[in-house]
Chain A
Amino acid sequence: MSFILRRLGAIIPTLFFVSVMIFGLQQLLPGDPAIAMAGEERDPNVVAYLRGKFHLDEPLHVRYGYWMKGVLAGDLGESVRIQRPVASLILEKLPVTLELAGLAMVIALVIGITAGIVSAVYKDTWVDYVANVFALWGLSTPNFWLGILLILLFAVKLGWLPASGYVSPFEDLGENLKSMILPAFVLGNALAAVLMRHTRSAMLQVLSSDYVRTARAKGLDERVVILRHALRNALVPVVTLTALQLGELLSGAVLTEQVFSIPGFGKLIVDAVFNRDYSVVQGVVLFTATAYIVLNLLADVAYVLINPRMRA
């Protein structure tokens, strides 16, 4: 119990550092943001107006104060570029990125866990190496590159899938899934390698344990041993570790969404950095960091609850 309270207490300073870090990184970006925001004509009146509106002439800590005051009141600011509240942008794009991440996770689990099991069971044989390489190739190719190649193959040459873009699942579920397969695959590939590693080492650990040796000694069929007994125990750490990979997914989503023109978080952040749309970057990063930290906490709690031995 005190463990949980301690972890909860640690969240506040962490979030504080996150906010300072992302605020600093944005506000200290080179280039006058007012000029960047003022568009092609760069009318001096507009520049002056923007400087005033965003308190750009005030010192850094004062600006931080303005921002924090808003955040604590629930106002994450507004996108200068398209004049929409950051909170509404987040709400609009969260389901898109969640869907992409979810599908990617499913693909990663399927590829990664299968490869991990196969690799552990056939350890040190050629099957092990092939499974290794198969899972690793996703981690070894830049995902934007893989994306472009897949688009050329599946959309242009074969015409099976759309080249890019996003259709809401409420509008047309079929089109939605078709437009998400390629990006989810590209995104899930890299994660598959990580999951494969976790599964493999967890399986190896379990396969050499007394528990399994007993099952084998009892004469149980090997497949039952693996699937029923070993896997169940091996999956526990894998699943909890998986929750922590969401940060990795968002990282990968940044480029995947660019290539496939999926209007999710990743694309939002990247475009905002280049357009010096501070509020958007600050708001979105703070939001995702908070979500990540909370998820981490939940995963830790779950891990401790499942594994009482860890509490010692």
Chain B
Amino acid sequence: MKKPFAAALAAALLAIPASAQTLRIGLAEDPDVLDPTLARTFVGRIVFAGLCDKLVDIDKDLKIVPQLATSWEWSGDQKSLTMKIRQGVTFHDGEKLDAAAVKFNIERHKTLQGSNRRGELAPVTSVDVVDPHTVKLNVSAPYAPLLAQLADRSGMMVSPKAAQAAGDKFSANPVCSGPFKFVERIAQGKITLERFPNYWNKAAIHFDKVTYEPVIDPTVRLANLKSGQLDFIERVNPSDMPALKGESKIKVAKAVEIGYQGITINIGKSDLSQKTALKDPRVREAFEASLDREAIVQVVMDGEAVKGNQWVAPTNPWYAKDQPVPKRDLNRAKALLREAGVTNPSFTLLTATTADAQRIAQVVQSMAKEAGFDIKIQVAEFSTTLNMADKGEYEAYVLAWSGRADPDGNIYNHLVCKQPLNYSGYCNADFDKAINEARMISDPAQRAKLFSQAASLEHRDRPIVYLYHRQWLWAHTNRLSGYRVIPDGLVRLQDMRIK
């Protein structure tokens, strides 16, 4: 009597679809505005990876790959980029994603009040709709980094209907075309997204829900992963890595970042540049020579970084191999100081209160001391240090940059004369010429040569002393597979699955 019942029950159970699977991700910070045009933090981009698709994406070798655009071609004179848009893509609200939508978005990025994408898309003058699935972006001058920009927030597409309807309240309920759609956001708390059933690549998505939760303290974040409350966390503490090797239930992944950590020197931002001990290029060279980058990487980052001397890591395809990372040379440092006529140069090193910046400052202080430098450390809150740097009220400043796929994104704003992030005040005509030219050519080999030229100028003048490039450190439950390790540090949900 019981058997048929059991059989029926078993049959019923087998017919039930797999229960809802949620991927729980732990973030290191709270994201800011969830509007790709206004967004301004790195951590926000992690959420966008699940929420908003972009025209193109990058792979682990930093090559441009299709996403919303299937193919593209520069015109002969390099002044317009024609892109074919994927067919059959819809936004979360059902609107069609076609050439008109792309045009709307590019113009929104360029014109919206408070848009942070204007600088990235500055050379783009107009967008033409060639046919419902083809757009043409016209630029005022050839602009090689354009595709890399379109692989980031500048290439993210939001639904024109939703954007127009919501006005400046759009970020409260963002409507994009990514694999997941927005459900809710608790301010400074969890962000919940749920699967978008009409996603064009839905075969690659294996979750029904994704949640992003900011857990600021890295120890607590890791504790959440260990206790099973989170499935995936970003930015693990380097010092926790050795212990994780022994944890069978946790897997780690790493990739060298596309950004850098360095010390920016005031060589022309304000009058202070004339009074500082670092005004003499020989003193700057001596400073760099007194640093042991290997030891810095070991002590500050527990070995989870790669020493560097350029705006991209030595492992990056754009690194100028003919200018390798120098070794520490105390004797040369002392000799240079003697030559420059200063035996005990003293300067103030400005740093924010973040943990690694402070460790760097302390280690650098004690290394340079051996060459005769007397460094005073000045600590201020991050916002305050930015302000001081902007006004040139500093001599040397420990500053990192999160990095962009195209090296231009690591160089232009920081080292070209009078650009917004040029805190050093570097203004060298030859340097600017090389970088501007590199923007306008598309041939990678030629660009690399120009970057190499610029790099040697940078090494001679030292507006920034590059120290190292961090390893992105992720940790996740061993039941999760399919995570693609890409140096921009984002979490791409396609192909990820949990057993």
A82-B420 contact, Cβ under 8 Å, with A41-B119, A261-B213: no
Q: Which of B114, B187, B224 is the one whose CB lies under 8 Å from A46?
A: B114
Whether A267 pairs with B188 at a CB distance below 8 angstroms is yes
In the assembly, what is the distance between CA of A84 and CA of B172, in Å? 8
In the assembly, what is the distance between CA of A263 and CA of B189, in Å? 6
B217 close to chain A: CB less than 8 A: yes
Chain A, range 206-255, C-beta contacts under 8 Å to B? none
Chain A, range 28-79, C-beta contacts under 8 Å to B? 29-33, 35-36, 38-46, 49-50, 53, 79
A174 close to chain B: CB less than 8 A: no
Q: How many residues of B contact A (CB 8 A)?
A: 52
A163-B227 contact, Cβ under 8 Å, with A31-B387, A39-B41, A92-B187: yes
B237 close to chain A: CB less than 8 A: no
Task: Count A-B pairs with CB separation below 8 Å.
Answer: 147
Q: Which residue of B lies closest to A262 (CB)?
A: B189
Q: Which residue of B lies closest to A37 (CB)?
A: B40
The minimal Cβ–Cβ distance linking A99 to chain B, given in whole angstroms, is 14
Q: Which residue of B lies closest to A144 (CB)?
A: B217
Chain B facing A: main interface SS? loop
Whether B113 pairs with A259 at a CB distance below 8 angstroms is no
A102 neighbours in B (Cβ, 8 Å) = none
A156 neighbours in B (Cβ, 8 Å) = 223, 226-227
The minimal Cβ–Cβ distance linking A129 to chain B, given in whole angstroms, is 34
Whether B387 pairs with A35 at a CB distance below 8 angstroms is yes
Whether A163 pairs with B224 at a CB distance below 8 angstroms is yes
A93 neighbours in B (Cβ, 8 Å) = 187
B32 close to chain A: CB less than 8 A: yes
Q: Which residue of A lies closest to B224 (CB)?
A: A163
In the assembly, what is the distance between CA of A302 and CA of B175, in Å? 52
The minimal Cβ–Cβ distance linking B168 to chain A, given in whole angstroms, is 7
In the assembly, what is the distance between CA of A162 and CA of B221, in Å? 11
B171 close to chain A: CB less than 8 A: yes
Stretch at the interface among B130-138, B193-201, B335-343, B376-384: B376-384
A166 neighbours in B (Cβ, 8 Å) = 186, 189
Q: Which of A33, A84, A165, A274 is the one whose CB lies under 8 Å from B187?
A: A84
A130 close to chain B: CB less than 8 A: no
Whether A165 pairs with B32 at a CB distance below 8 angstroms is no
For A35, A36, A93, A163, the residue with the greatest tally of chain B CB atoms inside 10 Å of its CB is A163
In the assembly, what is the distance between CA of A84 and CA of B30, in Å? 14
B439 close to chain A: CB less than 8 A: no
For B34, B39, B116, B214, the residue with the greatest tally of chain A CB atoms inside 10 Å of its CB is B116
A89 close to chain B: CB less than 8 A: yes
B453 neighbours in A (Cβ, 8 Å) = none
A294 close to chain B: CB less than 8 A: no
A40-B383 contact, Cβ under 8 Å, with A49-B114, A155-B223, A165-B215: no
B413 close to chain A: CB less than 8 A: yes
The minimal Cβ–Cβ distance linking B68 to chain A, given in whole angstroms, is 23
B302 neighbours in A (Cβ, 8 Å) = none
A151 close to chain B: CB less than 8 A: yes
The 9 closest A-B pairs by CB, nearest first: A39-B40, A263-B189, A36-B383, A163-B223, A31-B383, A31-B387, A31-B384, A163-B224, A263-B188
What would 23 A/B residue contacts be, using CB atoms closer than 8 Å?
A30-B381, A30-B384, A32-B390, A39-B32, A39-B39, A40-B402, A41-B421, A53-B114, A81-B32, A81-B33, A82-B34, A83-B171, A84-B187, A93-B187, A164-B220, A164-B223, A165-B213, A165-B224, A259-B217, A263-B186, A268-B188, A274-B381, A275-B383
Apart from A31-B383, A83-B38, A148-B220, 18 more pairs, CB < 8 Å: A29-B383, A31-B381, A41-B421, A42-B390, A43-B119, A46-B115, A50-B114, A53-B114, A83-B35, A155-B227, A163-B223, A163-B224, A163-B226, A164-B224, A166-B186, A259-B220, A263-B189, A276-B383
